[in-house]
Structure 1
Amino acid sequence: MSPAANWRYTLYLRIEPDPPPAADLPEYCRDVFFDYAKNVKGLFDTLFMLLSEALGLKQSYLTDIGCNQGQMILCHYYPPCPQPELAIGITRHSDSGFLTVLLQDQTGGLQVLHDNQWVDVVPIPGAFIVNLGDLMQMISNDKFKSAEHRVVAQSSGPRVSIACFPSNPASTRMYGPIKELLSDDSPALYRETLARDYVAHYYSVGLGPKKAIYDFLL
């Protein structure tokens, strides 16, 4: 059986460290766009503080090691699909980075994999969805797991979502299991890598049930 086609259009925009010229964005959404990005960046700060605490580290730890550097925004548009049984909005995958903050409309269609079952993520007005990604799984030495998810195609719609995540391809920092989390009983599970090298490998593997992170196991 042939794999289902991905039924989605995506606009990729890098906000940091090299934002697009304001003139390149439509005037009607220009100010809102940059204001939204600024506020999501503040949310990243809070989330990394809470995740640091959850790992038993000082509040600034994850920010101090560069997890919150850079920012990408992906604007997804899923048109109505006349034959949703032959397509998938976006196939099963986990995200490559440290975390993703997602804002979705009220159309629905997002599902997460839990105990080998696909579970609908019912939209809640005004609520964000936060996914932990592969690099967070790596540096936490599996204390956190990246969330596998997908979007099913639907005959209704369209569906619109906005995903924001830290991303700094110029970083020269090596990432691997945080040394403060390791012990004789909990040795490092992954080898170190540049974030950009991991992301490049992630895209070379492609989306699907095989998680690219497991190619970095020691």
Structure 2
Amino acid sequence: MTVSVFRDLHHSRTPGDPLVLPGPWDAASARVFADAGFLALATPSAGVAASLGYEDGATPVAEMFAAVARIARAVPVPVSADIEAGYGLPPKELVERLLETGAVGCNLEDSADGVLEDPQRQADRLAEVRAVAGDQLFVNARVDTYVHGVPDGTDQETETIARARLYAAAGADCVYPIAAPPESLPRLAAAIPAPLNVFALPDGPTPRRLGELGATRITFGPGLQRQAMAAVRRIVDRLHAL
């Protein structure tokens, strides 16, 4: 599936109709989501890590790319890959390895080891990725201001918008202020000149409501994988009761 199809899915969306991207953690879950009619998928690094037996952030780079490749091969819809902060790979190698998996998009986050990167340095890296990838890759720039906080005296929303605008200017196709509160979404959507990715929580607003608030696309992080594992635990409990 080409990146142009995936890119088109992000544009001309109406309020209340965001692009919903379930997060497969392996080929089997990817097939379930694709068979259910979802138009594209977005792998969660934490969900993939759990499926491979690693803690979040500890998956060896070769295993992460191999898992993404298995998922992309298993389905006829576009797949975007969460590749955390890029594993320290130079932009050229990062893009080449991503494209080899069959993925058409990626998440790149602006923090490392729980610390926010300098925004200009991150923007420069995104620009390098864009220059190498051309139009072959849909880049979703994750903004971690709501995950790791901002320096004292800095307004969180203002900093989020500043980073997002910088990343969009550097060539990011989409911006992902992960964990942004729902009440901030209308202001973020109005101020950021790029599609807005919003993280949906099981007990939070529905995807439709998030779309009404300004979300262009919805992702779930490792939430679906964790719900699946909770279902497995319930099955195990019933087996013990037999």
TM-score when scaled to structure 2? 0.27
Greater per-residue helix proportion = 2
Greater per-residue strand proportion = 1
TM-score when scaled to structure 1? 0.29
